[in-house]
Amino acid sequence: MNRTAGAARVTVVGSLNMDLVARAPRLSHPGETLAGHTFSQVAAGKGGNQAVAAARLGADGNGAQLRSGLKAEGIDCSAVETGKAATGVALIVVDDGSQNAIVIIAGTNGELTPEMVARHEAVLVDADVVICQLETPPDTVRAALAAARRLGKIVILNPAPATRPLPADWLPLVDYLIPNELEAATLTGLQVETPEDAAKATAALQAVLYDAPKVNAVDTTAAGDTFIGVFAAQLAEGADIEAAIRFAQPSIPTRAELDAST
């Protein structure tokens, strides 16, 4: 997915899900039934969230509803394909402390193949920045990373959901690896609970740790996706990494909203 107009172009190779979001006083325990506060249905998925975040900053970037939602944000959906399975779904519970628990069902996201990536290589050619995540099959993610590296693009990998360490040949294909603390722990086998732990995990991944601004979270759902989308949009526009990090925010704002807050 990329934007149809504008100098900066971000292409996302990833997932589209319909998020079913319940807010509750806390996350339920196994076997427990808990009364919630509210319910909402949101067009999302890590790929969709990241594309929207990038598009709202001016970058290129259930089925028909997901596609129409992306188009409404000015995102080029010419490389979005329809599969045989049901549309991907994410079941999300957000507690009063703004933490979440998420279960995803891949649906058609699991049908994305390396051949599909190759078929739409022209979209990668036009990109300045390419973003991948792990909500699609690993072989497909690697094919996208390799194609983006071969084409000389800036490559971002959000290793989520992380279930095991990344294959050794993936990291040389990636410019920016952006995990959260749980994903960093899974990738390295190290406990990651403090900034010092994060520095150790970063060293284990042979990466560089950058400090992001501290914020008060209202809802952590899509916060990481938004950070990555905004970060990618800034890189595509030529910002250096420190400026791109400072500009990225944990919600999905428009450029006007960000400009008004600074």
**CATH says 2-14+46-83+110-261 is which class?**
alpha beta
β strands within 46-151, DSSP E: 75-76, 88-94, 100-105, 129-133
Parse the chain into domains and list their residue ranges. 2-14+46-83+110-261
> How far is it, in rounded angstroms, from Cα 182 to Cα 202?
13
Tens-digit pLDDT profile for residues 4-63: 444 578 888 988 888 888 999 998 888 888 889 998 887 777 887 887 777 765 555 455
Which among 217, 235, 239 has a CA at the least distance from the CA of 53? Answer: 235
Q: Per residue in 215-248, pLDDT tens?
A: 665 556 667 888 888 899 899 999 998 888 878 7
Of residues 45 and 179, the one with the higher pLDDT is: 179
Q: What is the pLDDT of residues 79-112, one digit of tens each?
A: 887 777 777 888 888 898 888 888 888 888 899 9
Catalytic choice (139, 225, 240, 259)? 225
pLDDT surpasses 80 at 209: no
Tell me the pTM.
Answer: 0.78
* pLDDT value at residue 212: 60
- Annotation says 169 is catalytic: no
Would strands 176-177 and 129-133 be described as parallel, antiparallel, or unpaired? unpaired
Does position 258 have pLDDT exceeding 70, yes or no? Answer: no
Per-residue confidence (pLDDT) for residue 125, from 0 to 100? 95
